[in-house]
Amino acid sequence: MLRLAIQKSGRLSEDSLNLIRECGINFLSASYKLKTEATNFPLEILYLRDDDIPGYVQDGVADLGIVGQNVLVEAGFPELEVEGLGFSKCRLSLAVPRAAAYDSIQDLQGVSIATSYPKILGDYLAGQGVRANLHTISGSVEIAPSIGLAEAICDIVSSGSTLLGNGLREVETVFRSEAVLIANQTLSAEKQEQLEQLQFRMQAVRRARR
Ligand code: PRT
Ligand code: ZN
């Protein structure tokens, strides 16, 4: 039986559950449960923090997962991606205080930047030849400039209203993300076949939605 890890509660949860249901897979879900078994497909669903999903799939604790590409790439396992799922689209962007001068990425030389994505941001800056001081924090990144923790930030943006509300201006897109299906790279032949069935159904759902 395939084990699929999805986010327990957060921005990915509802769309992940809806996608599985629309694939014609039936299961009971209750918010207190940490796992559930489908009744008409060889699938067990595990509910986890999104940050834990790439590592669990890499280690084979779960066979499959649904997670944001931002979390997958930051975890260092981009090779686990099987296909994009088209929801939870967002971008990882650099932002500076509204009044700060900014002409190009070179203006970030030597600047302190708060982020929860040190790997993606570090790779991006290195590619641009920029050396900055990264401060890794796990949340509330947008308030870092106003409390004097950093001069710039790099965080997930979707509508942009959080940046605006914190007096920040988006200046560069570092990474574009959506939810992706990921899979362990050493699945048995039987599980590989079940994965292909699942992908076939997911693709049909996405075609029908268009
Ligand atoms: O508890 P757990 O660790 O599982 O969840 P989490 O809190 O780490 O993640 P969660 O549920 O917030 O987000 C899960 C995934 O959704 C992210 O990894 C992204 O792939 C995706 N996603 C899509 C987003 C957003 N849109 C988004 N807007 N993740 C976060 N945000 C944040 C953003 O950082 C900002 O602070 O939402 C705020 C509002 O954004 P604006 O631009 O619309 O104002
Ligand atoms: Zn998380």
Q: What's the CA-to-centroid distance between 164 and ligand 2, angstroms?
A: 23
**Does ligand 1 come within 6 angstroms of the Cβ of 49?**
yes
From the CA of 186, how far away is ligand 1's center (Å)?
30
- 155 Cβ inside 6 Å of ligand 1: yes
Distance CA 98, CA 170 (A): 9
Instruction: Look at residue 32 in the predicted model and tell me its pLDDT.
Output: 74
State residue 113's pLDDT score: 98
**Domain residue spans in the chain?**
2-88+178-209, 90-176
| Whether the Cβ atoms of residue 17 and residue 73 lie closer than 8 Å to each other | no
Task: Identify the pLDDT of residue 51.
Answer: 97
Q: CATH says 2-88+178-209 is which class?
A: alpha beta
Residue nearest to atom 16 of ligand 1 (CA): 11
Query: Which position has the token pair 């008409």?
Result: 40
What pLDDT score was predicted for residue 34? Answer: 92
b/e map 30-65, b = 16+ CB within 10 Å: eeeeeeeebeebebbbbbbebebbbbbbbeeebbbb
User: How much is the pLDDT for 44?
Assistant: 97
Q: Which CATH number does the domain 90-176 belong to among 3.30.499.10, 3.40.50.1820, 3.40.250.10, 3.40.190.10?
A: 3.40.190.10
The ipTM of this complex is 0.98
Tokens of 208: 């029908």
Q: Whose CA is nearest to atom 30 of ligand 1?
A: 156
Q: Tokens for 122?
A: 């570090």
Kindly give the confidence (pLDDT) of every residue in the chain, 210 residues in length, as a single tens digit, with 9 standing for 90 and above.
Answer: 999 999 999 999 999 999 999 999 999 877 778 999 999 999 999 999 999 999 999 999 999 999 999 999 999 999 999 999 999 999 999 999 999 999 999 999 999 999 999 999 999 999 999 999 999 999 999 999 999 999 999 999 999 999 999 999 999 999 999 999 999 999 999 999 999 999 999 999 999 998
Most informative mutation of 156, 159, 178 for ligand 1 (most atoms within 8 A of CB): 156
Which residues, at least 6 apart from 102, have a Cβ–Cβ distance to it below 8 Å? 96, 169, 171
For position 7, what pLDDT does the model report? 97
